[in-house]
Chains A and B, each alone.
Chain A
Amino acid sequence: MNRFAGQPLERVEDGRLLCGQATFVDDVSLEGMVYLAVLRSPIAHGRIVRIDADGARSMAGVIAVYVGSDFDSLPRIPTRLAPLEGVERFLQPPIARGKVRFVGEAIAVVVAQSPELAEDALEKITVEFDALPAVVDWKSATAPSALLFEANGTNVAAQYSVAEGDITRAFRDASYRRRETLYCHRQTALPMETRGLVATWDAREATLRIWGSTKVLWFNRKVIAAALGLRADQVQMMATDIGGSFGVRGELYPEDLLVPYVSKQIGRPVKWIEDRREHLMTTNHSREITCDLEIACTPQGKLLGMRAYLFADMGAYTRTNGGIVPSRAAMFLVGPYRIPAVEFHVAVFHSNKTPVGTYRGPGRFEANFFRERLMDMAADDLGVDAADFRRMNLIKESELPYSPGKLVPFEQPPIYDTGDYPADLERVLAAIDYPQLVGINGQEIDGRRHGVGLCCFVEASGAGARENSRVILEADGRVSVHTGCCTVGQGLTTTLTQLAADELGVDLARVILHNASTENLEEGFGTFASRGAIKGGNAVIAGVQDFIDQLLRFCRSTGGGTANELQWRGGAVRSRDGSVLLDLADIAVQAAKRGKRIEGRGNYLGQGLTFSYGTHAAHVAVDARTGVVEVLDYYGSEDIGNAINPMVVHGQLIGAIVQGLGGVFLDHLVYDEDGQILTVTLADYLVPTATDFPVIRGRSYGDKRAATNPLGIKGAGEGGIVGVAGAIANAVAAALRPLNVRITSLPLSPMRVWQAIAEAGEAAPG
């Protein structure tokens, strides 16, 4: 009896956001609060010879100054995911001790009466360095000239290989092979709200309260509590509004230990708000992977084998995400295709750059680009149409469930459960008018060359442990719902409200969906990899079902009828004949009279990952004289199993496509050969603005429900971004094919496209 799920309802969280009444972390203000600022390394690699902070300590308005040695009791930051063997030797200390390993690494912190004074004091701290050569790429990482951790004797943290099928035979027997080295550049998610924290130590209650954390509150709480010598229940993570996450926010960063530690030391509330320069230097970077990829095919284009060597630049340290980015890149190289034999070799190395973590569609954006680009090169060599090449190799619905094999060392083999991959491709071909566009591939029209490109993908979600929920009857008859999944801007509040209201059979206004907070839920997990609706949604339903049981039990205990006679229907307790005996407000009054709290609890574990799938198609025009690419049309499609709020999931799709287009054309974190980051303002790190990509179309729909969870949801946050690089790179390559231009590397900034054209011109005979 769904009244709300499936409806494109306006969001319940919008009212306060539209009126400036939201509470983001920098809006939290506590009595006696002071401000923390961080002194950060100006060099990429070097020993700290001496720190002189006396000048800062003696300044008016400065409360305290701490350097690395003051934090000796704090441990290194542990991994939360993907514990590839070897990466544990490269964990990040919360503050540099003896050595700095990237520009932006914390060296000292100042606490002062105002943020301005705190920054003034940073300028009075002098640090003497003994600079070391910087590691900036695979080549310098494997040369012995500079070791990030001398004790480790290497900068290569981990290497592994996975294989399925007979790869030797596949390549030996294949009449056609193609091998290319492809590269995806370094980017970051850049949420509009930078990171920030407010921490306060309540000595009377011996409790630490922290605002500004999100994503995985319970994990972070456990680490913070252990680091500070507290029990987990002495640390409370308070809910705030969150200005975008996209994977980078909410991981346990150094400041998540430094700020609470300092607050406890000085016994006052401490606020730290990351500025945008710090954000670009210290919040997780992502995507930088080189892939040496080879495929083997029949002369008709049927895939026989795929072999890859992936080199992932993880930056200076292994952070909480462990090896998830490179291992997902390897896992998703197979994509939605039937490939009888695969062999992937993954090398994870460290460099003197900002550490790497997840960014929306981690590993997928990269892998889909690598695979789809090489497939188009192969199709071109073989004279097969790009759509036909995909039609031939896409896994058919009749072949599902399908497992591509054990491709991740720390996980069971994934299973593609449900879907109709070829049907999605056909829908997108029709939507973009592929037959017409393929006819103008490479042609010059109005002075620009046109091209159409495709990318098919599968996308996994629903990862991670059990999610919990708690459903409580409030005194006014409304129902509070708590889960461990955080609203970070993606509309999860509305989505979960819709599910809870349907399950209860009440209006939306009856349900108060609370953002995640450790105060309201003893144990939860979190929000990442588009898992909110899957794990949180199913957990909320379980919690509501238990809540209804508790309501009925309460009503029976108060003599409202015998066990068989009472039932919950249409948002009320009814007798067998259907007449309403008690509604929620009545029960709340009864419960209050008896001093009884009515509360349901639920949880949802699930069975492995969900696999959504989709297709992207792009039509571009390239000005070959300047390298400027215009996206004339873009269509993204994804079957997400079940769309709880079609408006919200459409918003996710369109927004993610534009973010992905930024990742193809604009977003680029640039370092010089000394490991100095050059892109630390928004004038240098470029993201899409409203005029860049005005034509974006697409559809997220629920067709083939996931077999792995009761709601059939497959996750909706990332399908919009994961196919963009593949589709656009293929479209640009198609447009420039008559010029024999090789497109194997991102970004496709005008200059890089122009350079690729110039190189083709030089390589051309005559």
Chain B
Amino acid sequence: MTDVAITLTVNRQQVTATVEPRLTLAGFLRRHLQLTGTHLGCEHGVCGACTIIVNGAAVRSCLMFAAQADGSEIITVEGLAAADGLSPLQRAFRKHHALQCGFCTPGILTTMHALLQEEPHASAERIREVLAGNICRCTGYLPIIEAVLEAAASYNND
């Protein structure tokens, strides 16, 4: 198969690569860039663990091919933390015990980061509705919603 040359920005750094067309974006991030914070929980677009932010929108990276990401700006969980430590969203997760095994957490953090950037006033109901796109087997989701609600204030610039 003919490999495809791609250039994209990942966590604010430009990356160029040549990839097999069937390589998923998740596979590219994990195996080519060693950004292993993006996890694969199902590889068929249901669990949400692989969620990353592409051009500002939360998307499932198992349902995109790396070739399709040519020219995109991507943020993964590794790009969320501030240089001096955890972001307010991450801190709120820790405070509210919004993670246990942590495997689904990167996909939830990226989803909620994208949501709060777009909708900093999201209600608990809206957060819950959006969170329904991510499966967590440990927490029962309640503490995640508490954490996101608390962190929302830090996304408010008005």
Q: Do A and B touch, yes or no (CB under 8 Å, in the complex)?
A: yes
User: Which A residues have a C-beta under 8 Å from some C-beta of B?
Assistant: 10-11, 13-15, 17-24, 26-27, 29, 116, 189-194, 241-244, 246, 275-276, 488-491, 647-648, 650-651, 654-659, 681-683, 687-691, 693-694, 696
Contact with A along B64-96 (1 / 0, CB 8 A): 000000000000111011000010001001110
Contact with A along B31-44 (1 / 0, CB 8 A): 00011111111111
Most buried by B among A24, A191, A683, A689: A689
Give 18 pairs: A residue, B residue, CB < 8 Å, sorted on A: A18-B93, A18-B105, A22-B102, A192-B136, A192-B138, A193-B39, A193-B103, A242-B101, A244-B100, A246-B137, A655-B137, A655-B139, A689-B131, A690-B131, A690-B132, A691-B129, A693-B140, A696-B140
- Residues from chain B with Cβ under 8 Å of A651 in the complex: 97, 100, 138-139, 143
Closest A residue, CB atoms, query B141: A690
Closest A residue, CB atoms, query B36: A27
User: Which residues in chain B, 117-142, are within 8 Å of chain A measured between CB atoms?
Assistant: 128-129, 131-142
CB distance from B65 to the nearest CB of A (A): 12
Closest A residue, CB atoms, query B31: A29
User: Which residues in chain B, 13-68, are within 8 Å of chain A measured between CB atoms?
Assistant: 20, 22-23, 30, 34-44, 46-47, 49
Closest A residue, CB atoms, query B108: A690
Interface residues of chain A: helix, strand, loop or mixed (majority): loop
In Å, the complex CA distance between A688 and B81 comes to 29
Contact of B137 among A17, A23, A241, A659 (CB under 8 A): A659
Does B145 interact with chain A (Cβ within 8 Å)? yes
Is the CB–CB distance between A20 and B41 below 8 Å?
no
- Residues from chain A with Cβ under 8 Å of B141 in the complex: 658, 688-690
Is the CB–CB distance between B137 and A189 below 8 Å?
yes
- Residues from chain A with Cβ under 8 Å of B149 in the complex: none
- Residues from chain B with Cβ under 8 Å of A682 in the complex: 42, 44, 46-47, 135
In Å, the complex CA distance between A489 and B135 comes to 15
- 20 extra interchain contacts, Cβ-Cβ under 8 A, other than A241-B102, A244-B137, A658-B142? A11-B97, A18-B90, A18-B102, A20-B76, A189-B137, A192-B39, A192-B135, A193-B101, A243-B101, A244-B100, A488-B101, A489-B101, A489-B102, A651-B139, A658-B140, A682-B135, A689-B134, A689-B135, A689-B141, A690-B134
In Å, the complex CA distance between A242 and B100 comes to 10
Closest A residue, CB atoms, query B103: A243
- Residues from chain B with Cβ under 8 Å of A691 in the complex: 128-129, 131-132
Most buried by A among B38, B78, B105: B105
Pairs of residues from A and B, 10 with the lowest C-beta to C-beta distance, nearest first: A20-B37, A489-B101, A243-B103, A17-B102, A658-B140, A682-B46, A20-B77, A690-B131, A27-B36, A690-B141
User: Which B residues have a C-beta under 8 Å from some C-beta of A?
Assistant: 20, 22-23, 30, 34-44, 46-47, 49, 76-78, 80-81, 86, 90, 93-95, 97, 99-106, 109, 128-129, 131-145
Closest A residue, CB atoms, query B77: A20
Closest B residue, CB atoms, query A691: B132
CB distance from B5 to the nearest CB of A (A): 19
Interface residues of chain B: helix, strand, loop or mixed (majority): loop
Is the CB–CB distance between A654 and B140 below 8 Å?
yes
Is the CB–CB distance between A489 and B37 below 8 Å?
no
- How many contacts A-B (CB < 8 Å)? 170
In Å, the complex CA distance between A19 and B38 comes to 10
In Å, the complex CA distance between A246 and B139 comes to 12
Contact of A654 among B46, B90, B131, B139 (CB under 8 A): B139
- Residues from chain B with Cβ under 8 Å of A15 in the complex: 86, 94
In Å, the complex CA distance between A18 and B95 comes to 12
CB distance from A228 to the nearest CB of B (A): 29
In Å, the complex CA distance between A237 and B4 comes to 39
Contact of A14 among B34, B49, B102, B139 (CB under 8 A): B102
- Residues from chain B with Cβ under 8 Å of A193 in the complex: 39, 41, 101, 103
- Residues from chain A with Cβ under 8 Å of B136 in the complex: 192
- Residues from chain A with Cβ under 8 Å of B145 in the complex: 690
Contact of A655 among B30, B34, B93, B138 (CB under 8 A): B138
- Residues from chain A with Cβ under 8 Å of B37 in the complex: 19-22
In Å, the complex CA distance between A20 and B38 comes to 7
Closest B residue, CB atoms, query A661: B140
- Residues from chain A with Cβ under 8 Å of B77 in the complex: 18-20
- Residues from chain A with Cβ under 8 Å of B134 in the complex: 689-690
Contact of B22 among A17, A116, A657 (CB under 8 A): A116
In Å, the complex CA distance between A244 and B42 comes to 14
Contact of A276 among B34, B42, B104 (CB under 8 A): B42
Is the CB–CB distance between A654 and B137 below 8 Å?
no
Is the CB–CB distance between B39 and A681 below 8 Å?
no
Closest B residue, CB atoms, query A19: B81
- Residues from chain A with Cβ under 8 Å of B86 in the complex: 15, 18-19
Indicate whether A17 sits within 8 Å of B140 (C-beta atoms), given known contacts A10-B95, A116-B20, A683-B44: no
- Residues from chain B with Cβ under 8 Å of A490 in the complex: 100-101
In Å, the complex CA distance between A116 and B135 comes to 26
In Å, the complex CA distance between A651 and B99 comes to 9
- Residues from chain A with Cβ under 8 Å of B139 in the complex: 651, 654-655, 658
Is the CB–CB distance between B35 and A20 below 8 Å?
yes
CB distance from B116 to the nearest CB of A (A): 16
CB distance from A102 to the nearest CB of B (A): 22
Is the CB–CB distance between A194 and B41 below 8 Å?
yes
In Å, the complex CA distance between A116 and B47 comes to 21
CB distance from B111 to the nearest CB of A (A): 11
- Residues from chain B with Cβ under 8 Å of A655 in the complex: 100, 137-140
- Residues from chain A with Cβ under 8 Å of B22 in the complex: 116
Is the CB–CB distance between A192 and B140 below 8 Å?
no
